[in-house]
Amino acid sequence: MDKPAGNLTIVMYHYVRPLKRTRFPRIKGLDLDLFEEQLGYLSRHYSFVTMEQLIDAIDGADELPPRPALLTFDDGYLDHYTYVLPKLMERKIQGSFFPPSCSAIDRRVLDVNKIHFILASNVDPDDLVATIETACRERAAEFGLEPLAHYREKYMVGNFLDPANVDYIKLMLQHALPSVLRGELIEQLFRRHVAADEATFAGELYATVEQLRLMRSCGMHIGSHGSLHQWLGHLPREEQEADIEASLGLLDAVGAAPGYRSMCYPYGSYNADTVNAIASRGFKLALTTEVALSETSAAARFRLPRLDTNHLPKDAAAPINEWTLAAGADAAVKAS
């Protein structure tokens, strides 16, 4: 008989930096001082585990300690090499890092990051909404667009991280509009408000393959975040297969162990085709952006939920449970 699944707390991080000392202090990241406070909180209440321990436990080859916690870091930012790695090494904690291969290898700025930095510039979000909607009106016939009222009703909703107008901008530019129009709008807004030289900006934003290889040699885990950071669950099976296959090149380049491959779905987007594609390529588990504590069971291995860093209590004397989580997570996370 299978043993009952235990609870696991997986925490999701993106930007971690000394925000006030950066060029974009408005970026929605975690300040480095608060990250260190969270490491202290987690150290007091949890037992940190490695990705390899988790995979072994799911496979039935190991047991996790009481109240286990796993730290995950999405998107392969230079922040993770510069700021996160030293903090984790000081405390002998493993982090699991998930860079898209196109940013690490090809030095391309992900569309999701372009959107983040557009929003972190000094432009008023309502002006961005106006620019997007003007383009929609002017090119509605060309792209067969729905009336603006349709998009507003469906996407201008807001969540616990973003007000309605910011959520609307993100969703319209991430997947609601046709890909060609999205790409043109993102490029226009990025060049106008953030940077004209994408390659130079990418060099400032992302860790290199060499840095990721060094992180792995220091005991960190490197997993896949896809190749192009796409909404995999929205793509045809063949395109999903191609994206996931292309991401394996980065794992090989950094020396990731084939027996411990892990996947972090970009945007938390996946479907049955995604699961089949990663399972057939030897992946052992996959992470979502669903907000919940995880079960360490084989049945859940390809749909493990996580907590966003914003869900961690700032002044708590006890670990997170289902009641405290529910109080702080009344909406789904639309994270990258």
Q: What is the pLDDT of residue 4?
A: 47
Torsion of CA 208, 211, 216, 218, to 10 degrees: -170
Q: What is the pLDDT of residue 102?
A: 95
Rounded Cα distance, 189 and 116, in Å: 11
Q: What is the pLDDT of residue 158?
A: 87
Q: What is the pLDDT of residue 331?
A: 35
Q: What is the pLDDT of residue 163?
A: 94
**Which DSSP string do the residues of 2-57 spell out, in sequence order?**
PPPPPEEEEEEE--EE-GGGSS-TTSS-EEHHHHHHHHHHHHHH-EE--HHHHHHH
Length of the chain in residues, anyone?
336
Q: What is the pLDDT of residue 314?
A: 58
Mark out the alpha helices in the chain (DSSP H runs): 32-45, 51-58, 78-79, 85-91, 101-104, 111-120, 125-138, 140-143, 148-155, 164-171, 179-193, 198-205, 209-217, 237-254, 272-280, 322-328
- Per-residue confidence in pLDDT tens, the chain, 336 aa: 344 456 899 999 999 999 999 999 999 899 999 999 999 999 999 999 999 999 999 999 989 999 999 999 999 999 999 999 999 999 999 999 999 999 999 999 999 999 999 999 989 999 999 999 999 999 999 999 999 999 999 999 988 778 999 999 999 999 899 999 999 999 999 999 999 999 999 999 999 999 999 999 999 999 999 999 999 999 999 999 999 999 999 999 999 999 999 999 999 999 999 999 999 999 999 999 999 999 999 999 999 999 999 888 655 555 665 444 444 443 333 334
99 by DSSP, 3-state: which?
coil
Rounded Cα distance, 234 and 271, in Å: 8
Q: What is the pLDDT of residue 204?
A: 95
